[in-house]
Every structure is written in structure tokens, then in C-alpha cells.
Chain A
Amino acid sequence: MVILMIVMLSRDATAVLLSCSVTQRTMLDLQQFAPEDMNKQDSSDAVFIQLGCMVRDMSLDVRLEAFEALGKIGLVSEDILLQTLSKKVLGINKDKAYKPIEGLDISVSAVAGAYIHGLEDEFSEVRMSACYSLRTLTVFSLRFACEALNLMMDMLNDDSTVIRLQALDTIHHMATSDHLKVEKIHIHRFLSVLVDSSSVIRSMTRKILKLAKLPQFELFKLCIDGLLGNLEIYPQDEADVLSALFHFGRNHGKFTVHIIEEVAPEMEPASGGKLSFDSTRVAAFLVLAISAPLSHEKDVSAIPPRIFSYAVTWLGRISYGLSDIMNQEKLLAYLSECSRSSTISLADFKINEALLTVEGDASIPLCSKVDSPVSMPFWKDSGGISDYHHQEFLSLGKSAAHAEYELGEHSELRKYVNLIFKKVKDSWSLVELGCTTEACKGIRACKEEVASFTTESPGSFGAVAFTLQYLQVIEMLAKVWGHLRATKMLNPNGVGKLELLFAKLDRRLREISNRFIGLSKGEELQILDLVLVACLLRLSKVEICCCNAAMKLLSSTVAHVEYLHKEGSIEPSNFVTEVKKSLHDADSSSSSSSCQPLLFKKLLDSFSLQQFVLYGTPRSVHAELAVPGNDSENPLPFIPGIPASIPLAITLHNVLTESRLWVRISMGEESTQFVFLDLNLIRNKKRSINVVREFTFVAPFYRTPKAVSFTVRASLGLECFRENVDRVKVFGGPKCELTYLCPEKEIFLCKSTECKSKSAFT
């Protein structure tokens, strides 16, 4: 019926506008209207073709809407997609026709060249829309993506910068969905964009290059030349070019080694013993060279170690470029490590070990996670910082400590962040379609982007942290969703994995709902929606469901949601109403088993991810924990069997006075102890600011073992009121689940006599 409607309306240009917007909405309900003998695929194909006919309409608005609608149809046959890229009717489509309704014939030839026309439309809006809708369609077919790439490469010649940028974005999208197959004919066109006068275009191009994986050395070399050309013409791009070279080199370990061999003479010091390190070209090659050991390929040890020491002389410049990957200290450590050993095996070993965590998503090796593994042990003694992340926290904490102002009304960051949220929403539709891996990739790319946002400006730290947290929640949710909704049977291995995923998801959700303050009611509600979904997901699976706890959480969350609705007089979403309704139903019929996985599955259907819009300025609740002067060389003294005191220097950010804080001290796996931190009793040494507090707290550790020395791990947790703990109560411990506000801190203790003797010894 929808089809018929479009057909009828398409006779009248103005009405088509209507029909398009109608189509978008009805697209999902299509199968319900389609005749029984027509399957989903056919009906969406038919709609696609009908819309395809409209892209040649004389009215600008109709064309715009048509392309927008085309991009929204998920399920389209490859043949039809390919036909949209060729004005000639393809052989395979010659006699193909759909008869969705009696008396209506839709020929595939009608969509011939739809995208060709769209991309060379007179109006930039239409070209833009066509570019954008291609972006979503390339996910579905590799062949289509390859063909579309041809067109996109042509679009790089468009006279409008916005469209060139959109074309690059589409290519970037192909790259993230692994549908980018670059061929030689493309590469020239593509690289010519590197010398474009617009810096945005250039940086987008480099962003794509960072993801590229080329099959031939020849192409690799062309790309390197292109980047060098870019560097030559636009010296202001240096930082980003170096970063691109680093990523690019890391993706192509073997080629990098090869090319370094070729240019090695250039990098050698000139005669007379003077280093001719004055050209940026050399810097570029150095960056390329030092990226090689980080590649996933094995035989990359051919980079001469001295090159790494050359690179050290460029440390400032290189680390400036690689600031999104590692900081200067780490780079120095890495370089010195690599240059010290005549064979690279040590570094190789460490780094590869370190990279294990990211190996899973090798096609996007850009995750900022890469950083943390490179926390080489020999730093520990230098700064007393156990973890790079932690260090970052510290430094960021300091910047935040100045004062956290509100995020400006029209702040750039807010715009970016909201764009990210929009992307997340788009990716969620992929999750619903069952393409979890693709969606996760997209989300990870977003994470990486968020990680690159600066947190310099006031108020931005909280926003960025919040966005990252949100992305993590969505990623976990997507994973769980994909796990539960896609596979029909749950194999026993899966249950274990699923439990792990759930545990992670719960932790993330706890963090996002407790570690941020200053959210508006609407924002809070959206997060609660996610909590609800998580609950429902858990409930929908009998195998892993621990029904009572989940139900409890569900009802308490619903109650809270209701409260917020009343408070802010916000209209509850469809999803929430559904959940509420079925909860009441379940209550009234409590005699029957309360576990009704089918019911919960049904409820999940009505969930659709709303786009999160950040209006307020979320402030991140976090803390720093330190034991001044304590490390493995200088342990704290203790007497076995007698409680030991541990002086903790604590800095709290944005922690409200009424919140309940616990210090968790654990020794190994077996013994854990909680110490309550009464904020009311703590008197600030400095003038009390509500935002940041600094104080020293002496925590007792009761169960000291009969040992010469031992270590404990301490961290600071915030009690989450809404989530009751059902697990075995630790005596005197928190009643609710904890959200940890800082990374664990290792504390070294040593028997006091030993201590003395040690100090005497030194």
C-alpha cells in the first residue's frame, strides 16, 4: 500500500514531498502492508526503486527528500544498489521487475544512475544528501562500496568544500566499516586532496589515511610521497602529518621497514659528523621508522636501533605530533628502550605484549587505549606514578582544580559532543539491524575522537569524561544486545561471556549514573532509560537472569524515573510507559512466575535509542588517592597482627557532602576491608571549596599478615543508593554497590624491624 501511495503521489510533484516523509516513517511498518506473497526484501526493494524514480524530479525538495529516504532503507539487494551507480541498465537487471501490487509494475531500470544524477546535481544540498545517503548504503555491500568509491573520488573535485568534506567523510565511513578497497587509479586522485588549500579537507584526508591498509608497496610509497608533499607545501600541518605517518606506518610494518631501508642514507648524519637533521622530511621518515616496531607484523626488527636515537634528538617535535598517541616522557622512554638494545627484541616483546589488548580490533588501531599498555615498569621508580592513565588523571585533575566553570552556551565542545551523540544514535540503528560489530567499530571510532578533544577550557573535562563514559555504556550495551538478540541459542560458553559483559555493563552504568553531577532531569532520564534496558536485557535471558535482584533494580529504577517525570513534568517516553505498564501487570499477577523473558523481550522492542543532547555541564566526580613517599623501596612499617595505619592523601573532586565514601583496602584476592570516610568530620586544611577538597586520612588496616612485607591495594568508592547489594555482606561494609572514583593504588608495607634494618642498610 505504501508503494501504491508513492506511485500515485509521484504523479504530483508537490505531493511527493509528503509521500517521502510519510515513507520514512512507514518504511518499518512496510511488511505489515505488503502482500503475503512478497517477502521483506522484495518489498523494501520495491520501495527503494520507487524512491529512486523520484531523484530525477524537477523539484529540489523532492530530490532532497528522496535521497534522504533512500539512505534510510536498510535492506536492499546488491543488484539494485549497483544499478543506482550506472546510468546504463545492467544486464542482470534488464528484465527484473517487481509487482508488489496487482497492476503495478516496477522496473529496476528506473533507478538507473540515481546516484550519478544525485552527485552531479546542480544544488549542493542534493549532492550533499546523495553523498550522505551513500554513506549508509555502503555498509551493506562491498561491491557497492567499491563502485561508490569511484564516485566519491570524483566528488573530491567538487567546487564546494562542504561536499568535498562530506565525500571524505563517506570514504572514512567506508574505511571504518572495512569496505574501503583503494586501487591505484584512486590513489592519485585521493592524494591530490592532500594539497587542497582547505585545512579541514587535508586533515580529513589524513584521518582516512590513518585507517588505510594498502595491499601494495607501490601504493604505500605513493601515499608516503603524498604526505611528504603535504608537509612541504603546508608546514603548518606538521603535527598531524607526523601523526598520520605514525599510524600509517604502524599499519604497514613491512612496507615501512622496506621504505626506511631505501631512504636510510638520507637519514644518516652528513659527512663531518654533523647531523643534518634540519629537514622536516627527515623528521617524517624518523616518525615512520619508529612506528614500525608497533605494527602487528612480526619481522619488523630491521629498523636500525640508531635511528631511534636519531629520533630522540627530535623528541619535542615528534612528540608534539604524536600527542594523541603518547606523551613526551613515554615517547622518550620508548625511543631510548628501542635504541638501547642492539636487537629490538626487548622492545618488541614488551610492546607486542602491551598491544595484545588492542589486537582484537586491529583494523582500528587508533584507540587511545594503546597508551596504557605502554606503561613501562621502569617509570614507576621515577615519578611514583603507577599508571599512565592515572597520571593523566592527575594532570587533568589539576587543570580542573582551578575551577570548573560552566560550559559556554555555544561552546565548540558542546557542538562536537552532541555530534558524537548523534553518531551514536545512528550506530544504534545498526545494532538493531544486527550489525553489532560494525556499530561497535563506529562507537570506538567516536571514542577515539572524543579522546582527542582538548580538556583545556573550563568545564570541558566533565563533558568529555561524560561523553566517553556514555560511549562506553553504549558500546557494552550494543555488545550485550547483539549477544542476546542475534543468536537464538545460547551456548554454554556464551553464558560465561555474557555474564562478563553484563558485569562490565553494570559497572559502566553505575559509573555513568553516579559519577557525574550537574545533569539535567532530561539527561538523567535518558541514562535511566539505558539502565532499564540493561535490566530488561538481563531479565530477557533466563539462563543468566537472577530474577529477584534484577526485578528489584527494575522497579526501583522505574520508581525513580516516575519521580523524575513528576518532578520535571516531563512526558514519559513510549518505552518507559510500556515498561511501567507491564510492571504493573506483573505485580498484579504476581502469583505466576515473575520471570517472563518473553514479556521482557517484547518490551525491548519498543526501545529505541534517543539522541542524547548535552545541555548542561556535567561535572565528573572523581578522586585522587596517594600515599606520599611510599614505594617498594620505602614501605610503610607495620607489626604483624596489629593494625597498621596507612596515611592517605585524598583529593576529592565534585564529591557532595552527603555522599557516602568508603576506602576499600584489599590484600590479594582473599581479604578486603572497607573503611568509612565521614566527610562531615573532615576539616579542610585549606579554605573549603565545595568542588575540590584535599585532606589526609589515616586509614587503619586491621588484618596484617604474619609476613615480612606485603602490599595492599586501596581505592575510593562511592556508595550508589539505588543499587542494593545482594551478595554476602562484608561486615560493616557498604550496604550498596560501590562506584570507584579512582584507580587502585598499591601500597607497600614492611615489618617495622625489617624496615629499620633496611634503612640502616641504606
Chain B
Amino acid sequence: MAIDCLVLGAGQEVGKSCMVVSINGKRIMFDCGMHMGYTDSRRYPDFSLISKTGDFDNALTCVIVTHFHLDHIGALPYFTEVCGYKGPIYMTYPTKALAPLMLEDYRKNMDRRGEDEQFTSDHIAECMKKVIPVDLKQTVQVDKDLQIRAYYAGHVIGAAMFYAKVGDAAMVYTGDYNMTPDRHLGAAQIDRLQLDLLITESTYATTIRDSRYGREREFLKAVHNCVAAGGKVLIPTFALGRAQELCILLEDYWERMNLKVPIYFSAGLTIQANMYYKMLINWTSQKIKETYATHNAFDFKNVRNFDRSLINAPGPCVLFATPGMIVGGFSLEVFMQWAPSENNLVTLPGYCVAGTIGHKLMSGKPTKIDLDKDTQINVRCQIHQLSFSPHTDAKGIMDLVKFLSPKHAILVHGEKPKMATLKERIQSELGIQCYCPANNETVTIPSTHYVKADASGTFIRSCLNPNFKFSTHSSTDKSYLDSNKSKAVSRLSVSDDRATEGILVVEKGKKAKVIHQDEILHMLGEKKHEIQFAYCIPMPMARTEDLSSTSHMLCGFDKSTLISRLSMILSDELSEGNILDLGEELQVESFRVSVCSSDNCPHRLSSSLQNGSESVFFCCNWSVADEKLAWKIISIMKNSTL
């Protein structure tokens, strides 16, 4: 059987992650994301490839969503409510809790931009009703063959890697993950599993990142310098994830350095998100879990709600404002006020979508930004670019692949050239077959199918027989503490390599069975057959006393004399084998030779009939095992005279 992987999105690109895997007859859809870069039909995965008729309920066994980012979940309401999928959907508890926030936020933004509405609030609510939440390391039996299990993935709160097993075939879909912990989330964690296939993200297929402490240090230094000089810091961020991490970082630093400068959160989503985070403590990093009892890390002591009137209040402050990348909304409003002062600081995330103000600020250092035809912003403030990223780097990917050691790996969610490099590395360094398919391609890999075999008693007994080998091994060791003199110690080492040979028998309608070779005849009800080779070979006679008496020879020399002569010849020439003289015949192992008295021996070659009168025929026969030996003897016989 085979595993078929149909890539509907995130193949050689980042965006609209979606993968349909058929594994031993079950079809699972991993993630159902949307592409943020497109507004046309390319925005969603091409669901028609799953089923021409649109009967998704029968075509898919289940849908699994790894985390709440839109490129992993954005198309889900569309798929369930518009396309009509009604089957089970699995996601972790935090994802289920936070996904509606993300989707709703996105829908509102779409509304604002005046785009066609793809789904409504009701759609989101309806869709979420179909979701079955799972916990970490909880094995869920989807149906009688398919079981899935979620593992902690870091990345964002609630992100999970999913393990799926059907029969003997097993696979892991990582979603996005992070192998290094950050201030609020732990590192990805998974068991050692027997896998046929690993599908992993490869956002940073070639990048190797430094320690996170460096990044934190830069950020803290920039912020501290700014507030120390009386400036205001604007941190435009999305509500979930990065905002919490940075806030924990600042909170800790504030605490340690005894800073009293206020930190603000712009009202709305972030506050709500913080509330969720507080409830989802179990999904955060060890540190936060440990201190939870005494102090909830998301209970920010220094953080207050921001009020519009505070925008122009004197004195330094730090403000977290949504949305990120300064695409509009409140962060843009504040930016317009604060940008003209060189005392102030704006931090930007590592990645900004082209066309946003964030992107403009990142590319070069503009002094003026045109918002629209009438508005122009003077930018004199400092810009600090954050290099935090919740994705694992190349080393992390390699570490995970090495740790899991699957039989095959598929790379998704990355840039094509970099993925190719990583693919090469995985194949050459780890010896694991690796693929990086494009969208709408299908990769087929063989799957494992285990057959249980019984073993016969004889076979088991033969396994139990030890197979000792002894060898002496001498070495001089000086550091042997117990013996007070250094001396050469020769050790007898014993090895016991138990290799047992058996025969696997698969009969129709019966279980497979491993049996010992002695049993096979009985089992098949057959007799033992042996192959014997025979050859009648002439040996020239040395003319001794009487030339004319050749015809008499056979009679003259009795057979035993001839045999004993032959025996002498062979014992001179033949190095191996034990020659047994049995009077009428000679025996070396299974090789037997006797004088042939019959004139038309069936084993005699016709060409050797010449000079028949001067030769004595010997009839030889041997079994297959001693073929080499036989031919050696024959060649000796040919080249010598009696």
C-alpha cells in the first residue's frame, strides 16, 4: 500500500497551508489555510481536486488544523459552510478558542477594505461548532482504524504537530513549529515514533539563527535607550503571540531594572487575548507554568490600558498597538502622531507585507511617507527591526528530522530554492528520501504493512541455541586500577551472534509462519530430493610389462588394485578431503568413484571412447555440495595415468 500526499497549498511557497494525505485508505486534510497575498480564487486551496463531485464528507475522513494562524485556518469556514464539508474537524483547545477571534478580525478587515465577503460571522460560529477539541498527547480514535495525537509545537499558543496512524502506516504533520523556546512558549516536543512520512515546514530552510538572547538584548537596549531619553515607544503588533512575548520580556526587564515608565496596551483585542492566555497557562512554557501559582505571567503589573488622550501626554511610555505592520487602525493613528519626533521609537516585526507602512519603513529610511494624496507623515523617529521569529531554523528542522528518522520526508511551507538545498542536506546527511512538491502535485510513497508471523517450536528452539565464538584479544593496559602492576592482559572475548535461518511460509487462508528448514518437507508433504552428478571418466593406463595384454588388463588387474592405485594418486595430489578406500570404491566426502565395467555407461561421453582399450573407466558421482571438490578430483584424474 502507499501513502498519497496531495499538496493543495504551501507547496514551495508560504501561505494557504493545506495537505490531503491518503494513508491506508483514510484521507486526512491537514490545515485549511488561506493565502494572504491574493484576493482572487487563488486565495483558497483548490478543493475540487479532493472530490470532483463536491462530496467532501465521503472523500475525507477528517480535517486537522494545527494552529490558529490564518494561513492555516483561514479557509476553514469557507470549506465547511460554503463548500459543505460536514465531517469531523480536530484542533487543540487553544486553537479552538482563539481561531474565531482571528477569523472575525480578518473578516472585519476584509469588510473594511470593501472586498467580497467570503464568509459571515455566522459561518464562523457554525464552523466552530463542528470542531472537536483535543489535548496534547491525547490519542483520539477518529474511527476504528485511524488514530491521531497532538504534540506540542511551540510557535504560537495552542500550536500542535499531529501524528496520524492507520494500521501500520504512521506519519507526522508538523504544521509550524519552533525548536527553541521563547519567553512564553516552550520548544516543540515529540516522542520517538516509527514513521513512514514526516511532513515538515521549512520557512527557514537555510537560515541558522543565533541565540535568542541576542535578539532580546537588542530590543531591550533600543527600548531602554529610548525611554531613558524620554521618548515614546510604539510597538505595532498583532494581538496574539508576539505581543505577549514582548510584553513578558519588557515586564521582566522593567521589574529587574526597577523602571517606572508606563507600558500600555491599546484596548480591544489584545486585552481579550491576554485573558485567553491567562486561561491557557497549560500551553505555555515551563517557566510560566511554574510561577503560575504565585504570579500569572500574563497578569502584567506594569501594563495599563491606553486611552486616546494619552497619545500626546508628556513623558516616556511604551505602547502596544494593533494591528501589526501599521496597516491602519489604531497603530497608524499613533504612528502619525509620534513619527515626527526623533526621540520616539517604532519597532517593526521581522516581516512586513509589501505595501504596508511597515514595509516602507523597513526598506530604506524614508523621511516622508505619503499616506494618501493629501496626507504626508514626516518620519524622524528611530526604527528598530525585531528579528524574533516563531519558526524553527534550519538546524532545528534537521534536528527534528534526525530525531524522528522517518523513512520519507516532505518539505512544505518554504521558498523553493531554499527547500531544494535543505532537501539535498536531508538526503545526503541523514539518508532520508525527501521531496518538496509544488501545489496541486501528488507525492506517493510506499507505506509500511506489518505481517504477524507465528514461529514454530523447532524454529524457536533453534533460535535459543547459542552460537558462541571465542577469540582472544590481548592488550596492554596501564590504567587498570585493581591490579597493582601493569602487565599485558590477554582477554578471552566471547561473542554470541545468533543468526538463525528459517523459512517464512504463507499459506492461503492461514497465518504466516516461520518454520525451521527441517520442517518444510513435512509441511509440504513432499519427499526429500537430492541431486546427484555422475560422470564416467577414462583414465589412461601406463603401459607396464605387456603391451599386448591390454585387453587382458581389466581382468588382469582386479578392481581393488585399480582403486588403491587411484587412491595413492589422489592422496598425493589432493590436499583437502579425507580419502576413504572402501575396496571397490573410493569416497571423498560425498564424491564416490568406482571402476566402471559396463561398456555403455550412460555417464560416459562418446568423445572419450577413443583409445578405449588403453584406458580404464571410472564412474564418479557426487552431490551438489561437493561440486568443487569433485571437479578438482576429476582434473587430477584426467592429468595422471594409472
Contacts and interface: CB of A to CB of B under 8 A. Distances in A.
Interface of A: 12-13, 28-29, 31-32, 36, 56-58, 87-88, 112-113, 116-117, 119-124, 151, 154-155, 157-160, 188-189, 192, 195-198, 233, 602, 605-606
14 contacts: A28-B479, A58-B190, A87-B208, A87-B209, A88-B208, A116-B210, A120-B181, A122-B285, A157-B220, A192-B257, A195-B257, A197-B258, A233-B258, A605-B481
B252 interface: yes
Interface stretch (B194-202, B211-219, B561-569, B634-642): B211-219
Contacts of B221: 188
B444 to A, nearest CB: 29
Given A32-B477, A87-B395, A154 B211 contact: yes
User: Shortest 10 CB-CB distances between A and B: which pairs?
Assistant: A154-B213, A122-B181, A122-B186, A32-B477, A87-B208, A159-B252, A116-B211, A32-B479, A56-B399, A122-B187
B256 interface: yes
Greatest chain A CB density within 10 A among B209, B253, B395 is at B395
Given A192-B257, A195-B257, A120 B211 contact: yes
B106 interface: no
Nearest to A116: B211
Given A157-B216, A159-B252, 18 more contacts: A36-B475, A57-B403, A58-B190, A87-B210, A112-B395, A120-B180, A121-B181, A122-B287, A123-B286, A151-B211, A151-B213, A154-B211, A157-B217, A157-B220, A157-B253, A159-B183, A160-B287, A192-B257
B257 A197 contact: yes
B642 to A, nearest CB: 53
Interface of B: 180-181, 183, 186-187, 189-192, 208-214, 216-217, 220-221, 252-253, 255-258, 285-287, 393, 395, 399, 403, 475, 477, 479-481, 484
Contacts of A120: 180-181, 211-213
Nearest to A119: B211
Contacts, number: 80
B246 to A, nearest CB: 13
A650 B59 CA distance: 103
B252 A56 contact: no
B392 to A, nearest CB: 12
Contacts of B180: 117, 120
Contacts of B191: 58
Nearest to A28: B479
Given A56-B403, A122-B181, A195-B258, A606 B481 contact: yes
Contacts of A605: 481
Contacts of A57: 403
Contacts of A195: 257-258
Greatest chain A CB density within 10 A among B213, B475, B480 is at B213
Greatest chain B CB density within 10 A among A28, A122, A192 is at A122
Contacts of B186: 122
Contact of B217 (A113, A119, A154): A154
A31 B211 contact: no
A56 B190 CA distance: 12
Contacts of B189: 58
Contacts of B217: 154, 157, 189
Contacts of A192: 257
A143 B192 CA distance: 37
A88 B191 CA distance: 26
A31 B181 contact: no
A159 B287 contact: yes
Given A87-B395, A197-B255, A155 B210 contact: no
Contacts of B209: 87
Given A58-B191, A120-B180, A602 B213 contact: no
A123 B286 CA distance: 6
A127 B399 CA distance: 19
Contact of A13 (B192, B212, B286, B287): B192
A113 B395 contact: yes
A151 B212 CA distance: 11
A696 to B, nearest CB: 58
A87 B214 CA distance: 14
A113 B208 CA distance: 10
A112 B396 CA distance: 12
A482 to B, nearest CB: 21
Nearest to A109: B429
A123 B181 CA distance: 9
A28 B477 CA distance: 13
Nearest to B394: A87
Contacts of B475: 36
A380 B232 CA distance: 65
A158 B248 CA distance: 12
A109 to B, nearest CB: 9
Contacts of A31: 479
Contacts of A198: 256
Contacts of A119: 211, 213
B208 A602 contact: no
A157 B217 CA distance: 7
A158 B253 CA distance: 10
Greatest chain A CB density within 10 A among B403, B480, B481 is at B481
A330 B288 CA distance: 52
Contacts of A196: 256-257
A198 B257 CA distance: 9
A112 B211 CA distance: 13
B211 A197 contact: no
Contacts of A151: 211, 213
Contacts of A155: 213
A92 to B, nearest CB: 17
A187 B208 CA distance: 27
Nearest to B190: A58
Nearest to B183: A159
A438 B561 CA distance: 92
B477 A124 contact: no
A122 B284 CA distance: 10
A12 B477 CA distance: 31
Contacts of B484: 602
A13 B192 CA distance: 8
Contacts of B253: 157
Nearest to A158: B213
B574 to A, nearest CB: 38
Nearest to A234: B258
A139 to B, nearest CB: 23
Contact of B214 (A154, A158, A160, A606): A154
